[in-house]
Amino acid sequence: MPELPEVETIKRQLEKEVVGARIKRVEVPTSPTASKGQGNKCWIGDKQLVVGEKIVEVARMGKYLFIKFGSGRGLMIHLKMTGRLVLNDLDYDTAPHTRAVIFLEDGRKIYYWDTRKFGYIRVEDDIESVMNNLREKMGPEPWEISDVELLRKLQKTSRSIKETILDQNILAGVGNIYGNDGLWLAGINPKRIANSLRLAEVTKLRNSLCNVLERGLATGGASDNTYRDFYGKSGSYQNEFLVYGRTNEPCRKCGRLLVRIVVGGRGTWVCEKCQK
């Protein structure tokens, strides 16, 4: 699943390319069970409502993208597991998993492609209200919260620290890749109960999460699976995973072989010597 670095990469590219552009039309392959104008479950809402709209801003909150229109309407986008937004790659005209095509008045196209169909683009009548409502529910990103504030959040739960930092109501934007790597960098075992962490450990964890997220952003994200950026290019963070996906490979600190376990139903990688 694209996490904060991948979604922020796409947001910056969208911002550069499409702010100021107008939408000419939208094509959505129709599901037999869809209501009129609804298309398939990856496009939610009447596509005619966006025709002629001018894109005035692109925003991101956690793993969500928002395309704002001059009218106050907008698009709320979540890529979920396998979604892609790609600009002007004509191969997607015939790709079997292209779920929507946004035609711009300048002749360019934005493709939404998704193999598993968990992601979506949703038409919103009042995009600012939607963002405000989401902001009230979503936790801050790791660089938006103090160590003491994070400690207070952790003290309220008896879940594992891994499950807790992946909870978007606690910390926004952190997913399985950067959560695993951040915990290893901080030397914290993913199975630790969140409320057992001391302030010094919380400080180290928050700093480590910021470190790996910033590294992910600097490398264009992780393309170990289906992720591509807005230009259809792969990121390179997968070439420097600290622990994620590295079963039976040596720990980069001590050389001990990394172990794959399951925490909260998610694949989790740990050095049993370095992470306490």
CATH architecture of 142-270: Orthogonal Bundle (1.10)
Domain positions in the chain are: 4-137, 142-270
pLDDT (tens digit, 9 = 90+) per residue, 203-213?
Answer: 999 999 999 99
Angle at alpha carbon of residue 134, lines to 209 and 85, rounded to 5°: 70
Instruction: Supply the pLDDT for residue 36.
Output: 47
Region 121-126: what's the mean pLDDT? 99
Measured CA distances, 76 to 59, 131, 134, 145, 231 (Å): 10, 9, 11, 25, 20
CB distance 146 to 199 below 8 Å: no
Could you give the percent of the chain with pLDDT greater than 70? 97
- DSSP result, 124-171: ES-HHHHHHHHHHHSPPPGGGS-HHHHHHHHTT--SBHHHHHT-TTTS
Computed over every residue of the chain, the mean pLDDT equals: 96
Cβ–Cβ under 8 Å, residues 6 and 16: no
Contact 264, 160 (CB under 8 A): yes
Report the percent of the chain where pLDDT is more than 90: 94
β-pairing, 64-69 vs 98-104, is: unpaired
What are the pLDDT digits (tens) for 85-95?
999 999 999 99
Is residue 217's pLDDT more than 70? Answer: yes
Interval 230-268: pLDDT, tens? 999 999 999 999 999 999 999 999 999 999 999 999 999
pTM of the full structure: 0.94
CA distance 210 to 207: 5
Inter-CA distances, 178 with 12, 45, 204, Å: 20, 33, 15
Q: Strand, coil or helix: what is 21?
A: coil
Please give the residue that has the higher pLDDT: either 38 or 179: 179
Q: In this structure, how many other beta carbons lie within 10 angstroms of the beta carbon of residue 96?
A: 6
Position 93 scores a pLDDT of 94
Q: What DSSP letter does each residue of 31-79 carry, written as one string?
A: PTTPPTTT-STTEES-GGGGTTPBEEEEEEETTEEEEEETTS-EEEEE-
CATH 3.20.190.10 fits 4-137, yes or no: yes
Q: Give residue 39's pLDDT band: very low, low, confident or very high (50, 70, 90).
A: low
Q: What is the mean pLDDT of residues 9-37?
A: 84
- Look up residue 97 and give its amino acid: H
Residue 191 reports pLDDT greater than 70: yes
Mean pLDDT lowest among 12-16, 185-189, 221-225, 256-260: 221-225
Averaged over 132-150, what is the pLDDT?
Answer: 98
Q: Which residues are designated catalytic?
A: 2-3, 63, 266
State residue 33's pLDDT score.
43
